[in-house]
Amino acid sequence: MTPGGPVTGAAAVEQLLELFDLRRLGDTTFLGTSPPVGPLRVYGGQVAGQALVAAGRTVDPSRHVHSLHGYFVRPGDPTEPIEYQVENIRDGRSFSVRRSVAVQHGKTIFFMSASFQHPEEGLDHQTPLPPDVPGPDEVPTMTERLARYPERLGIWGQIPRPIDVRYVGEPGWVRPGDRPAEPNQRVWMRIDAKLPDDPLLHACALTYASDLTLLDAVLSTHGEVWGPGGVAGASLDHALWFHRPFRADEWFLYDCVSPSASGGRGLATGRMFGPDGRHIASAVQEGLVRREQGRPPQVG
């Protein structure tokens, strides 16, 4: 890390673990915080990851999360703690279902349903890893890419970066005109230091990462970019399915496409593949996508 630059590596991952270490206020109520330096609103992957932490802490540890579905209702205030309220919807013989609600200033900013399953055997098939994708060591690091666009950094050049992100194509934050239209947004990712051996923690880390580049696929289809001269966006909802065991601190390819965009909204889908080619997770997100007019769009 350079002086005045972002916190990266083990130090950034330690801060991420602190974000996931929610304070228990009661049997089903927890309190989370945001990084001391960050964007003007709470990062969506953070609130989704924390909501999953809260839900998971009320479930038998032998049951692992297999899906979550969440809605971003209001922008979160990063200067204020977030209260997570968990409702036990059902505990069955094989599945447990929870509803986790994030509240600030007495109002809901995000809510999520999450389902947990006792491990079992069954049919097994998957789509293959996309062919001819360069590996993470064959594409530029985030630091190398950012060096070309110092004027695009802003607050994002100062916030902690616990994820090693390596774009296969051009990122969504380059200068207008520097990004060709491409049908896929492909990114290699991994948490930038070793995590404890806790499946829930790895699922929360993957949830955190899954919101980072998914909507980029909407812009990639048109060769558009985020920020001045481009568009502004905000997540509206987010769904994630966990298919197979994985470690979030090992490389995974996030292969994202956008099947549709209309009405100021864009839909993106993503598949995550482990380093051995296993399809470990899938994500779907719809986001608000509007022409940049000097301030980020607000949900609602």
Structural tokens at position 263: 């009405």
Residue 101, by phi and psi: left (phi above 0), alpha (psi -120 to 50) or beta?
Answer: beta
Angle of the 44-56 helix axis to the 199-210 helix axis, nearest 10: 160
AA letter at 34: S
Q: Which amino acids are annotated catalytic?
A: 211, 235, 285
- What are the residues facing 67 on neighbouring strands? 115, 241
Contact between 201 and 207 under an 8 Å Cβ cutoff? The reply is no
Cα(10)–Cα(199) distance, integer angstroms: 19
Distance of alpha carbon 281 from its chain centroid, rounded? 12
Residue 273 buriedness (CB in 10 A; 0-12 / 13-18 / 19+): buried
Residues 6+ positions from 256 with CB-CB distance below 8 Å: 184, 185, 186, 187, 213, 214, 216, 217, 220, 268, 269, 270, 271, 283
Position 99: which residue type?
R
What span, in angstroms and rounded, lies between the C-alpha atoms of 31 and 51? Answer: 10
